[in-house]
Structure 1
């Protein structure tokens, strides 16, 4: 690889001019990270459009002919280039990142080569939700016709689009087709007067459920009779609802098979969507709302159907617990991160099952603009409920939990009063309230708005927010007193009792240290405090480790 890469580099240097998929930069020391990301997107998309396996960004070489090797010290010191792949993946769709980052000595000077994979067929590469491209030396948003050119590229394989061998129109459920017609009319109101005149074959073709008159896997999933399940083998298209109690004991369950277009409402009917009451702060009377918004439930289920990897032969599951619903489907979360979905205002790049997803769009099950997940978060916020939780930790599985219990009412009042908070602010504050980890970027954004305090990972709502939400007592418990306060307590104790061992110091301070720390962290804080006092000459240690005790250090006059 080393020799091959040197040959590739020499060939690129000798090119008469920059190509759309190769960019040279001097980048002697610094290079803006956001610019690096924009070049990643642009070169990836251009490589796709020009049929190249990868684009290249090269630091340490001038960009004008004749090119000169000037060397680059970009990220020369630790952590250097080590974390760059991870950092880039946080801002691209599908966590796309460099295929390789290489350092080479050429003519005794350091050159850094970034190998950028070409955009996947049908999926333009984005940076912070924007699709970039190049026109000679210019860098900017990729032209719309070029974006569409990439999106029109057929995925290499779409199981949902394949003809279901042996299936005929007789395998489709008449009730499901009738329901699909009504939903199609809602989606295409200008055609409502014509739909009833179409025969089934014409309707299914217009609804993009069938392909050239033949029954697809997508058609069986959405509209197939229950007895047509065997036609999909080894794939499974079932939904299971499970009810668990506080002790995680299963107390009820039900299975729902084909057709899935009707199964969604049948699952919905089994969910115990109870009424909850809370004081909003806007009125003296309690508000009564259902635990779950019906649209949110259906959207979560429709997403499971659209994104399920059916060839894993697993069921979609809905697990109902007291106060929450969890939806589980098989297959990796294609957008990469939930944050990228929330922040971008562009259509989704792709679905795992494009043909099935397109049919669901036509039948009014999912939205073409891909705002479903973002809308779920907005609805939960408007209802003053906790945000949805996405668990993507297990490879090949997506779990989404919709909380059905109100956040602490004091915190809920803050959401009502602080209309200036962005959706991302609320989502991140929701994590802090739940004790969940937040990224450095999220933490910094909340700190800038003075919404949180504390040191990672022990963050808590700031004093200003605590005042607004009437959680001052909780804030004081979590805020650590000034270290001088604790030192004064130790000094006062030693002045009174002359000496103290560890259990006595611990008993003196432990319950007064910030509640944002766990027990282990509180003890480490106390040890650090005593060590600091010893270095300052305030106290001294007497005896060996096990029986050691602390006493006040003698004053200068006592030493004489």
Structure 2
């Protein structure tokens, strides 16, 4: 048992560790455990254990007030104890791993309030966790039956030691491989090992020996990886059926699409070259002349990103890799969630992949120079985009079922792009977070806190903006004030001045205020909602009143005027 001197200290500790309810944390103000451990389906502990386990695991806090996390305490434990509750929950949640399910007891000495933390492990690969004969997941503040897309994602998860690409294809022969692709593989392999004493012998090796050395064959028997990288189109398509081996490039706005097939050692270059890549002009603050450069970095970014899709595609799901091109953006999509960690962990180059979904394919691609297995690929792509003054690549839109890699070919916010370029002293993590700010994407509380402590941002989530200190340093005072906006009292004063001229309809008030609201309130819907709240606040203050009907029929006037 963990003891705290006061309930306030316990509450503070709970807030620090479980700041909000989400798919990882759940708060329950249960004072009695009698019918709450296993009781009404969708509302009891075992249901929440199922929901948390079917994502990435988490924790249920029992005995704390919703929202505030004030320790109200468990008063009636019925016949549940720390010793027996784990076994009883396991008995009601088929599929839940027994290792990792723990119950921790916290107590406040001054009030005697007891809080339980139920630590829930992640589900085992390909095994949803059930309670009351159904699997659950969180939906807002309640639980629903596990959705089909999440169920499919769980059932398609990778098993340790499983490697689709390593399977030998019994009917495949050397005649099914492309000669130009074999020659390119020999060239790239020899180039990688040019300093080895045996490098001069590589041109004389038999094709069987070469494929074994690269990892595309096992004792001369061709693997699925071999057909992907070196296979002739017709042979690879037939021998790998029903798994489609195809990359689709498309421009949806123009209804244009083109398929690409093995040998991917050669044809991924064709895909990258198919992406439209005109020169663009950028204007750095510290240079007098414009910088002209291709919209995309074909080798470091496009090819690296495409090769990552190829290496991490979940081929067992029988889907295609998709390359979608739109104005200033290329999206690359492969089946299967991001494998082994999170993208931001690789951005600094500090993390090394511990495993690959297709280990044999990844190893072979590294041997012929298609990918980097040391974990520097994402880091290099981030640095390449930063050097080009463009938004950083990201994985927005990804899910447990698919990975989406976004490459930007035009500026989003000129000021942010220039600022990220010029502040080379910032840690790469700060650069990544600030890039999310310019894209109007959410940061978690810890990231916001660090940027705020560093004086880099201001505003409240999700309306973050560049800080005043940096705005002045970069000559962005006007942009800063535009984002920050004026005090609400200013807008109220404008309303009072307008109503002093006579009663007004909402459309007149909107016309006066909409263009004056800060840029951080982006959409027209949000701006109108702000004005609505402003008027309601003024009604509560007693300065104005509605002399008409509701919504469009409202007629606003100064209070007490006839």
Q: Same fold (TM over 0.5)?
A: yes
> Aligned equivalents of 1:97 and 1:519: distance in 2?
51
Q: Secondary structure at the match of 2:405?
A: strand
Residues 501 and 549 in structure 1, CA contact (< 8 A), matched pair in contact too: yes
Distance 1:337 1:446 in 2: 20
1:160-559 correspondence runs (5 A):
160-191=165-196, 192-229=199-236, 230-244=238-252, 248-251=253-256, 253-293=257-297, 294-335=299-340, 337-342=342-347, 345-393=350-398, 396-494=401-499, 496-497=500-501, 499-517=503-521, 518-539=523-544, 546-552=553-559
CA shift for structure 1 position 334: 1.7
Q: Shift of the alpha carbon at 1:197?
A: 3.4
CA distance in 1, matches of 2:438, 2:363: 38
Q: Render the CA deviation track for 1:76-127: whole Å, top value 9, x for unaligned.
A: 343569xxxxxxxxxxxxxx99965657899x9765453546998xxxxxxx
Residues of 1 paired with 2:470 and 2:354: CA distance?
38
SS in 1 for 2:558: strand
Alpha carbon RMSD of aligned pairs, Å?
3.7
Residue in 1 aligned with 2:129?
none
Matched residue SS, 1:387: coil
Q: CA 1:199–1:459 in 2, change beyond 3 Å: closer, same or farther?
A: same
> In the alignment, what sits opposite 1:54?
none
* Equivalent in the alignment of 2:64: 76
Q: State the Cα distance separating 1:351 from its structure 2 match.
A: 1.4
SS in 2 for 1:442: helix
CA–CA distance in 1 between the matches of 2:2 and 2:184? 62
Aligned partners of 1:543, 1:404: CA distance in 2, in Å? 52
Contact 1:279 1:409 in 2 (8 A): no
Q: Which moved more, 1:196-205 or 1:460-469?
A: 460-469
Aligned-partner Cα distance in 2 for 1:549–1:407? 40
After TM superposition, give the deviation of residue 442 of structure 1 in Å: 3.0
Distance of 2:554 and 2:266 partners within structure 1:
73
SS of equivalent residue, structure 2 residue 221: coil
Measure the CA separation in 1 of the matches of 2:178 and 2:395. Answer: 34
SS in 2 for 1:386: coil
Q: Is 1:26 aligned to residue 14 of structure 2?
A: no
The 1:479/1:115 distance shift into structure 2, 3 A limit, reads closer
8 Å Cα contact 1:390/1:401 also seen in 2: yes
Q: CA deviation at 1:378?
A: 1.5
- Distance, in Å, in 2 between the alignment partners of 1:309 and 1:228 is 21
1:372 shift after superposition = 0.8
TM-score (norm 1): 0.69
Deviation per CA, 1:487-506, whole angstroms, max 9, x where unpaired? 33334445x43655544444
Distance 1:117 1:289 in 2: 46
Contact 1:316/1:327 (<8 A) preserved: yes
SS at match of 2:222: coil
Per-residue CA distance 1:320-346 (angstroms, 9 max, x = gap) = 333222212122222353223335722
Q: What secondary structure does 2:395 align onto?
A: strand
Task: Tell me the secondary structure at the aligned position of residue 196 of structure 1.
Answer: helix
Separation (CA, whole Å) in 2 of partners of 1:327 and 1:233: 23
Greater CA drift, 208-217 or 340-349 = 340-349
- TM-score where L is the length of structure 2: 0.69
Q: Report the CA distance between 1:394 and its aligned residue.
A: 5.1
Which whole-Å CA distance do the structure 1 matches of 2:241 and 2:263 have between them?
15
Match of 1:277, SS state, is strand
Q: 1:266 to 1:501 in 2, by over 3 A?
A: closer
Q: 2: CA distance between counterparts of 1:522 and 1:170?
A: 66
Contact 2:338 / 2:400 at 8 angstroms: preserved in 1? no
Q: Are the aligned partners of 2:300 and 2:384 in contact in 1 as well (CA < 8 Å)?
A: no
Change in CA separation of 1:243 and 1:543 when aligned onto 2, cut-off 3 Å: closer
Checking the alignment, whether the CA contact within 8 Å between 1:384 and 1:412 is kept in structure 2 is yes
Q: 1:350 deviation in Å?
A: 1.6
1:431 deviates by 2.5
The number of residues matched between the two structures is 443
